Amino acid sequence: MYIVVDAPPGALDALHTSAAAIGDVLKVVAGNKGIAHLVVVVRILPCTRWRAVCHAEDGLIDMRFATGMPYPCTAMDIYGWKWTFPDFASHLAVVASHELYHYRAHHFPQDVPGYDPRDETAGNVYALAHAQQCGFQVQAQRP
């Protein structure tokens, strides 16, 4: 896995994280299987909400988070789930897990039986359970 962290000066400190800490979170949630050629981009930008996309066929996960987002925070995602993130690491763990779900479904369809790329609920169900299993204290309310 190749990780790119792009953030303006001071932005990582403000989120109480670092490039190394981001790498640690991504390694924990990604595991070891089939990620040798996966590229993960984490951008910290002056935006108001996080966004992420998985280009599974290209082996690219692209995520952006907001500068100065206060943690702990409770926020709604674009699918209507209300998430509570105690810290940036837990937020990153959930979003990365969701995108890894799409990545795995594409590259290891036998691991994700019945996968439907339009079914974002399944991605969130997986992300919540996986992030919690990895030790992140995230919570969510489904719509």
Applying CB under 5 A, the residues found at the interface with Zn ion are: 120, 123
Are residues 83 and 50 in contact, defined by beta-carbon separation less than 8 angstroms?
no
**116's tokens:** 């439907």
CB of 117 to Zn ion, least distance (A): 8
- The answer to whether the beta carbons of residues 131 and 93 sit under 8 Å apart is yes
CB 123, min distance to Zn ion, A: 4
Question: Smallest Cα–Cα separation from 30: which of 5, 1, 58, 51?
Answer: 1
Return the number of the residue (59 or 123) whose C-beta is nearest Zn ion. 123
Number of alpha helices (DSSP H) and beta strands (DSSP E) in the chain: 4, 7
Q: Would you state the structure tokens that stand for residue 73, as one six-digit string?
A: 């925070």
Question: Backbone dihedral region of 95: left (phi > 0), alpha (psi from -120 to 50 degrees) or beta?
Answer: alpha
Closest distance to Zn ion from the beta carbon of 99 (Å): 7
Nearest residue (CB) to Zn ion, 85 versus 101:
101
As measured in angstroms, the least distance from the Cβ of 30 to Zn ion is 16
**Judged by CB, which is closer to Zn ion: 67, or 121?**
121
Which neighbouring-strand residues pair with 53? 62
Question: Which CB atom, from 17 or from 123, has the smaller least distance to Zn ion?
Answer: 123
Give me the residue whose beta carbon is nearest to Zn ion: 123
